[in-house]
């Protein structure tokens, strides 16, 4: 029965996040909000909605290892698995703005998360700090876009055709997507908890492997679709943006609602893998300003090694 919960949860999270983004971005565009602002707020938060709802649900259920492990594992999977796999299919171009601003901010957010988590607890004031920093990042991105000569700057991932839909349909998308996310998160957390008990492994192992992969499905789909459409430079920007939202918005909002305890294994092992995979983007991608197939292989192998290290002690 736990497998039914997990599969149904995955499906609801995938479709819920997709329809939430469609409805919210279409509604925002109808209200004459710029595509760029929609991109860095609605779309980015929408693709991170599965992580947010799962982490919040897990924290409220008293499952902090799932709440934190979901985010850390998702960030590792986004870079090492999803970016690596996408680069295996198509070399990924890197925008200079990505390294000059987004990557640096992601590294700073990762280091801040590690520093705040050393005492094994994310409390409410730390959550408020994270949400404040996310708000500041959005504001800076908006100002930079307004000053840029490139009309496409910062508008990655926005589908402007959604604005042509009837407002009633957009509201239906938002409501249906939100309901699907709530139920998907509940079923995924319940299924993961049952599975962890049946296999005799910790919540952290299930969260790092199964749950984090499930909540990363929207990023996987978005990256592969963008690559097939020839928009290969979108993949990295979307992944870095998603990871940043996971750290600052998802964990920030979750710890604002309820302080989160962090397991020693996550503090001593998983956080550092997350930092290392995020840092690896620079040396792998700075040559030629792209991530080629060799870089993709290295990232993918790093993910395989990490998962093996997580699973071997649990077996």
3-state secondary structure at position 161: helix
What does the pLDDT average to over 236-247?
83
Domain count, the chain: 1
Which class for 33: exposed (0-12), middle (13-18), buried (19 or more C-beta within 10 A)?
middle
pLDDT for 151 beyond 50: no
Residues paired with residue 92 on neighbouring β-strands, in sequence order: 291
Tens digits of per-residue pLDDT, 155-191? 555 556 666 788 888 888 888 888 887 788 778 777 8
pLDDT of residue 50: 79
pLDDT of residue 110: 96
pLDDT for 16 beyond 70: yes
What does the pLDDT average to over 242-265?
92
pLDDT of residue 225: 63
d(CA 188, CA 305): 25
Residues for the chain: how many in total? Answer: 315
Residues 290, 294, 295, 299, CA torsion sign: positive
State the CATH number of the domain containing residue 170: 1.20.1420.30
CA nearest to 209, candidates 35, 50, 65: 65
Tens digits of per-residue pLDDT, 81-131? 988 888 888 887 777 767 777 889 999 999 999 999 999 999 999 999 999
d(CA 45, CA 122): 21
What does the pLDDT average to over 235-239?
70
pLDDT of residue 132: 95
What DSSP element (H or E) covers 244? helix 232-245
The residue range of the domain holding 231 is 2-314
pLDDT of residue 153: 45
This prediction has a pTM of 0.82
d(CA 26, CA 245): 21
Q: Which residues lie closer than 8 Å to 172 by C-beta, 6 or more apart?
A: 23
pLDDT of residue 161: 67
DSSP 249-273: IIHHHHHHHS-EE--HHIIIIIHHH
Buried b (16+ CB within 10 A) or exposed e, 181-193: bebbbbbbbbbbb
What does the pLDDT average to over 234-247?
79
Range scoring the smallest mean pLDDT among 17-21, 86-90, 271-275, 302-306 = 17-21
pLDDT of residue 152: 46
Contact between 69 and 270 under an 8 Å Cβ cutoff? The reply is yes
pLDDT for 276 beyond 90: yes
Alpha helices in 92-231 (DSSP H): 96-97, 103-117, 124-147, 167-199, 203-206, 212-215, 217-228
Q: Which residues lie closer than 8 Å to 306 by C-beta, 6 or more apart?
A: 76, 80, 273
pLDDT of residue 41: 64
Q: Binning pLDDT at 50, 70 and 90, where does residue 248 land?
A: very high
Dihedral angle computed from the Cα positions of residues 39, 43, 45 and 51, in that order, rounded to the nearest 10 degrees: -140
Which class for 17: exposed (0-12), middle (13-18), buried (19 or more C-beta within 10 A)?
buried
pLDDT of residue 201: 81
Tokens representing 98? 């990505």
């Amino acid at each position: 029965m736990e497998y039914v919960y997990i599969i149904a949860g995955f499906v609801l999270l995938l479709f819920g996040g997709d329809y939430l983004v469609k409805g919210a971005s279409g509604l925002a565009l109808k209200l004459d909000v710029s595509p760029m602002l929609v991109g860095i707020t609605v779309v980015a938060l929408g693709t991170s909605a599965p992580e947010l709802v799962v982490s919040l649900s897990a924290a409220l259920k008293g499952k902090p290892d799932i709440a934190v492990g979901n985010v850390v594992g998702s960030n590792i999977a986004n870079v090492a698995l999803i970016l690596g796999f996408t680069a295996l299919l198509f070399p990924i171009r890197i925008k200079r703005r990505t390294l000059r601003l987004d990557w640096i901010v992601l590294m700073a957010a990762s280091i801040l998360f590690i520093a705040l988590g050393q005492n094994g607890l994310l409390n409410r004031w730390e959550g408020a700090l994270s949400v404040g920093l996310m708000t500041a990042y959005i504001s800076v991105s908006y100002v930079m876009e307004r000053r840029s000569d490139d009309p496409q700057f910062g508008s990655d991932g926005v589908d402007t055709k959604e604005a042509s839909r009837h407002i009633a349909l957009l509201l239906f998308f938002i409501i249906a997507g939100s309901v699907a996310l709530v139920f998907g998160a509940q079923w995924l957390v319940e299924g993961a908890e049952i599975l962890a008990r049946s296999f005799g492994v910790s919540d952290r192992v299930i969260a790092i492997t199964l749950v984090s992969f499930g909540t990363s499905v929207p990023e996987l789909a978005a990256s592969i679709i963008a690559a097939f459409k020839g928009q290969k430079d979108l993949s990295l920007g979307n992944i870095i943006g998603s990871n940043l939202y996971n750290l600052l918005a998802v964990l920030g909002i979750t710890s604002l609602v309820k302080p989160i305890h962090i397991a020693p294994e996550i503090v001593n092992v998983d956080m550092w893998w997350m930092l290392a995979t995020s840092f690896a983007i620079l040396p792998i991608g700075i040559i030629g300003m792209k991530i080629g197939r060799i870089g993709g292989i290295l990232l993918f192998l790093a993910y395989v090694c990490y998962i093996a290290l997580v699973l071997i002690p649990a077996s």
